[in-house]
Amino acid sequence: MLQFHEQILTDLLQEDSNGGLVILSSGLSLPSLISSLLLLHSPSQGTLLLLSPSLPLKSHILHLLHQSDPSSQPPAEITADLPAPSRHSLYSSGGAFFVTPRILIVDLLMSRVPTSNVAGIIIPHAHSLTETSTEAFIVRVLKSTNRDAYVRAFSDKPHSMVSGFAKAERIMKCLYMKKLHLWPRFQVYVCEELEKDPPVVVDIRVPLSKHMAGIQKAIIEVMDACLKEMRKTNKVDVEDLTVENGLFKSFDEIVRRQLDPIWHTLGKKTKQLVSDLKTLRKLLDYLVRYDAVSFLKYLDTLRVSESFRSVWIFAESSYKIFELAKKRVYRFVRSDGANVSGNSKHTTRKKRKLNGEESNTESATAGSSSTNSSGSILLEEVLEEAPKWKVLRDILVEIEEEKKKEVLFRKEHLLEGEEPDGGIVLVACKDERSCMHLEDCITKSPQKVMREEWEKYLLSKVELREAQTRYKKKPKDPKGYGILDGVVPVTPAQNAEASGINKLEHEALLAAASEIRNLAKRDSSQDNLEHNVTEGSAKGKKQRSGKGRGNSKNSPNRNDTSQKNDNPSDPGSVGDGPTDEFNQETTSNNCEEVLQQNNRVADETGPKTNNGSPPLHFYALESDQPIIDIMKPSVIIVYHPDMTFVRQIEVYKASNPSKKLKVYFLFYEESTEVQKFEASIRRENGAFESLIRQKSLMMIPVDQDGHCVGLNPSLEPQASSLQNSITRKAGGRKEVEKQMQIIVDMREFMSSLPNVLHQKGMRIIPVTLEVGDYILSPLICVERKSIQDLFSSFASGRLYHQVETMVRYYRIPVLLIEFSQDRSFSFQSSSDIGDDVTPTNIMSKLSLLVLHFPRLRIIWSRSLHATAEIFFTLKANQDEPDETKAMRVGVPSEEGVVENDVRAENYNTSAVEFLRRLPGVTDSNYRAIMDGCKSLAELALLPVEQLAELMGGQKAAHTLRDFLDAKYPTLL
């Protein structure tokens, strides 16, 4: 353990026995702090509960515990699969346990947790807490019964602790803490220890390729244009709208937090701008992360999915992104080496004239002269490699040479012992896809990897065309329908030019893809033939080969191509073809030739670092695993720089000062990658500076340690009201009000409403309900729906069934529609509400639901606190609900029909529906009729006087009696 870790633990254990909030820099080994606290815990102190760590954090903690004491038993996990008695015994055992907040709060409310035996709670993700979170609910319930239990919260996301107003202070208040411990990277103890024996660092700045730099510049220009458009709305704080902030995921949260309350008033353009900024950030990230073909493929998907919806595609610089991305992969040239530009009007006319003639497609592009038929269009593959790939291979070669020199040096000086630092080389990438690509580049070669990606890209084009022609029938001469049909209105000359070049490009790509597929089929057929034939002479082989190719029309051209490919030293073999044929098969042969030549180059330049190279491991930073502690590498290559991972390397080196460690950093020079890395460090330092200022100005109440917390806060104002009591009522004594109680379904503890209800002083009874979510009284049942859940419930039909069961078993069924406090209090703007009922409109669905269930009451709530106030008002003058009865509602019973029970079998729904349709029976009296008579046969025999008592009036009784006594007509 490092010294500053010991100092943090000392501050927690000695200065404040009731716990505290620790905020440290990202990557400073939060798991080691938590594992040390678990190791220091003894069963005699009581039970220690660790609340819901993330899966990577949990695995890291268990790894550190096993590493420090392999013989000790790791902390068990308390899950819902364990029965209640087993959970109770674990809570009483005095050990350390992992537990989810949902299970713990239910067990606390049902008194399954012996709170006097709980020593404390550890919360590892304090930055995600709010006043209404379940963790705050747990601490409040625990502190009300065990004021000596400590709460220790940790966070390694300082920038999340400064989002919002005084977030750190609010979190400390809801967790009943009085101490805030800040440990930034620039803290004196941390700096001294991490910089005492730093690793050897090699910073390599790789220049971007010309096309990559052009794409990056175009994306930043488009992003800046989108930000300027958003500033014009005057709805967002202008200070936050910068390109540097747009590089981070938190930018979306900043914008949405400001726009959510007025989201329904925004236009479509502003909403689309928010989505476009997210897309552009992805493009900047993918540009430096993935290869050229993958980037082009992603752009193609964006062109299809967002072509007429997004704003950024129509920006001035957006076309550069697509054009330069294509140039990184392929380009079109003529056989004389000139680029295909299509600037001549004469050429354009010939393209349009010969558009449908496959045999003359390429002759139309032979040049500005229409008589020149000696040139042909060739698809020249560029397949630009990522500049970092070559640098990575050079680094691996350098590592291998250094290892050999070290071994030679040891042999010359006769040194004994272990081979120092001849171990693992770790390459850290952003995600799994990047790891697999780099691994292929090392094991195969960059050219081969690019070749495979290129072939996949071409084959996807063919599959897409086949799917379109198979499932989409088009007329021979399709008519355009403007923007609805995907056609942008342009001038006639521009339209002709674009259509000619794009169609030529598309057909050449399809031809190359078809050739690749034909090659694959031919190779597979040849393999099958060679496998089936037992005798093979040279002559037989030739015949079989000719037989396999005899079905194609262009077999002479293919033979000619194969002969040219046999001579790899011939520079003129690529692109040469007969001058009297310019059909599509010529382009196919040229593409085949390029493919075969590039495959030969890939085979010749295979990986040279496979033999005798040190063990190489790839690690995805997104997995967040303790890879450095497990692998203990001697060389780390940070392919995608990440601030958290850099800190982990520093901590690892400080923990192992005798270990020699060399770190290579690969940055793209003058790229957003460098800008984002430096901005992340500045952002974290700025967050800590803000927290330091907040700590100096923080006002912490004396009772914030939880010693003054009561079980029922709603009864606190009674002391002041006693002075104004009427003295005639027993000397001013006031009766203690009975605490309100609400029965809550177990599944509702995923939301924060039970916490807010408990804050209002209500007693929460968690049970499993079949009907409803909240039972307020024997008559009132509430089904709570958030906005997202309401839409999904309507779509699946679940809401209709839920309302139907509530109407069947409860007199006052309520549908509560709860909005979020920081969002607009409406489904849609008033202009979007139509006059007619439509099956897709949410308001139409609600109207139909109310028409079908007239007794259903709909309550609209603006927030959680508004819902608590509504529940408080609805429970006024109502009896308290019965827990056992609420659990039995709607539950099938094995005993069949039970007297005075409310289970599903006891309700003859057909008879109830028949009763409600009788004349004189209304929604207000049918339940009284059901209580007064057991069956429809008994109802038919009741006299008018008893019917009047049950139905609430003589008129309704006579109406029903006349209907029951009326003679039916006969045919005679």
Could you write out the DSSP letters of every residue in 503-522?
HHHHHHHHHHHHHHHHHHHH
Residue 159: CB atoms within 10 A of its CB come to 17
Answer positive or negative: Cα dihedral of 795, 797, 800, 803: negative
Mean pLDDT for 347-368 is 33
Quote the pLDDT of residue 608: 38
Mean pLDDT for 507-511 is 69
The mean of the pLDDT values for the chain is: 75
* Alpha-carbon gap, residue 586 to 480, rounded angstroms: 33
Quote the pLDDT of residue 11: 86
Q: Would you place residue 712 in the very low, low, confident or very high pLDDT band (cuts 50, 70, 90)?
A: very low
Question: Is residue 787 classed exposed, middle or buried when 0-12, 13-18 and 19+ CB atoms within 10 A define those classes?
Answer: middle
Quote the pLDDT of residue 703: 67
* Alpha-carbon gap, residue 210 to 378, rounded angstroms: 23
Quote the tokens at residue 348. Answer: 């354009």
- Beta-carbon contacts of 362 under 8 Å, excluding residues fewer than 6 positions away, are 376, 377, 582, 583, 584, 586, 587
Residue 192: CB atoms within 10 A of its CB come to 12
Quote the pLDDT of residue 964: 87
- Beta-bridged to residue 743, according to DSSP, are 765, 775
Quote the tokens at residue 521. Answer: 């089929």
Quote the pLDDT of residue 12: 86
Question: Do 711 and 764 touch, CB atoms closer than 8 A?
Answer: no
* Alpha-carbon gap, residue 927 to 907, rounded angstroms: 12
Question: What domains sit in the chain, N to C, each tagged with a CATH number?
Answer: 3-196 (3.40.50.300), 198-207+387-409+421-470+613-670 (3.40.50.300), 210-334 (1.20.1320), 741-823+843-888 (3.40.50.10130), 909-965 (1.10.150.20)
Asked if the model's pLDDT at residue 814 lies above 90, the reply is yes
Spatial strand order in the sheet of 635-638: 200-207, 662-669, 635-638, 425-429, 616-620
Instruction: For 160-175, give the DSSP string.
Output: GGGSSSSHHHHHHHHT
The string of pLDDT tens digits covering residues 100-125 is 999 999 999 988 889 888 989 999 99
Q: Which H helix or E strand runs over 221? A: helix 210-231
Q: Would you place residue 450 in the very low, low, confident or very high pLDDT band (cuts 50, 70, 90)?
A: confident
pTM (whole model) above 0.85? no
Instruction: For 160-219, give the DSSP string.
Output: GGGSSSSHHHHHHHHTT---EEEE-TTSHHHHHHHTTSPPEEEEEEEEPPHHHHHHHHHH
Quote the tokens at residue 97. Answer: 């346990």
Percent residues over pLDDT 70 in the chain:
68
- Beta-bridged to residue 51, according to DSSP, are 99
Residue predicted with more confidence, 613 or 113? 113
Residue predicted with more confidence, 793 or 890? 793
- Tokens 């139509």 correspond to what residue? 834
- Beta-bridged to residue 676, according to DSSP, are none
Mean pLDDT for 378-402 is 86
Quote the pLDDT of residue 684: 92
* Alpha-carbon gap, residue 730 to 37, rounded angstroms: 55
Quote the tokens at residue 589. Answer: 């042969």
- Tokens 């052009």 correspond to what residue? 214
- Of 297-311, 791-805, 857-871, the range with the lowest mean pLDDT is 297-311
The string of pLDDT tens digits covering residues 901-913 is 555 555 677 788 7
- Cα–Cα separations (whole angstroms), residue 703 to 15, 479, 799, 810, 821: 17, 77, 45, 44, 29
- Tokens 């429970």 correspond to what residue? 875
Q: Would you place residue 658 in the very low, low, confident or very high pLDDT band (cuts 50, 70, 90)?
A: confident
* Alpha-carbon gap, residue 38 to 95, rounded angstroms: 9
Asked if the model's pLDDT at residue 372 lies above 70, the reply is no
Instruction: For 283-317, give the DSSP string.
Output: HHHHHHHS-HHHHHHHHHHHHHHHTTT-SGGGSTT
Question: Do 419 and 615 touch, CB atoms closer than 8 A?
Answer: no
The string of pLDDT tens digits covering residues 227-240 is 888 777 766 665 66
Q: What is the dihedral of CA 79, 84, 90, 91, to 10 degrees?
A: 100
Asked if the model's pLDDT at residue 627 lies above 50, the reply is yes
Question: Do 119 and 49 touch, CB atoms closer than 8 A?
Answer: no
The closest of 149, 840, 28, 242 to 848, measured between CA atoms, is 840
* Alpha-carbon gap, residue 811 to 856, rounded angstroms: 9
Percent residues over pLDDT 90 in the chain:
16
| 550 DSSP assignment | T
User: What distance lies between CA 348 and its chain's CA centroid?
Assistant: 47
Q: What is the dihedral of CA 840, 844, 845, 847, to 10 degrees?
A: 180
Question: Do 636 and 649 touch, CB atoms closer than 8 A?
Answer: yes
- Cα–Cα separations (whole angstroms), residue 396 to 94, 401, 446, 609, 798: 52, 9, 14, 7, 59
* Alpha-carbon gap, residue 665 to 643, rounded angstroms: 12
Burial 446-459, CB ≥16 within 10 A → b, else e: bbbbbbebbbebbe
- Of 232-241, 467-476, 799-808, 824-833, the range with the lowest mean pLDDT is 467-476
Mean pLDDT for 295-321 is 81
Question: Do 377 and 337 touch, CB atoms closer than 8 A?
Answer: no
* Alpha-carbon gap, residue 158 to 569, rounded angstroms: 61
- Of 468-472, 801-805, 877-881, the range with the lowest mean pLDDT is 468-472
| 28 DSSP assignment | S
- Beta-carbon contacts of 91 under 8 Å, excluding residues fewer than 6 positions away, are 47, 78, 97, 107, 112, 113, 114, 117, 118
- Beta-bridged to residue 200, according to DSSP, are 662
- Beta-bridged to residue 155, according to DSSP, are 23
Question: Do 929 and 939 touch, CB atoms closer than 8 A?
Answer: yes
Question: Do 886 and 743 touch, CB atoms closer than 8 A?
Answer: yes
| 703 DSSP assignment | G
* Alpha-carbon gap, residue 276 to 728, rounded angstroms: 71
Q: Would you place residue 723 in the very low, low, confident or very high pLDDT band (cuts 50, 70, 90)?
A: very low
* Alpha-carbon gap, residue 597 to 565, rounded angstroms: 7
Question: What count of residues does the chain have?
Answer: 972
- Tokens 């299809």 correspond to what residue? 304
The closest of 153, 165, 20 to 690, measured between CA atoms, is 165
Asked if the model's pLDDT at residue 597 lies above 70, the reply is no
| 12 DSSP assignment | I
* Alpha-carbon gap, residue 919 to 966, rounded angstroms: 12
* Alpha-carbon gap, residue 862 to 816, rounded angstroms: 11
For residue 42, the number of C-alpha atoms closer than 13 Å in the C-beta half-sphere is 2
Asked if the model's pLDDT at residue 47 lies above 80, the reply is yes
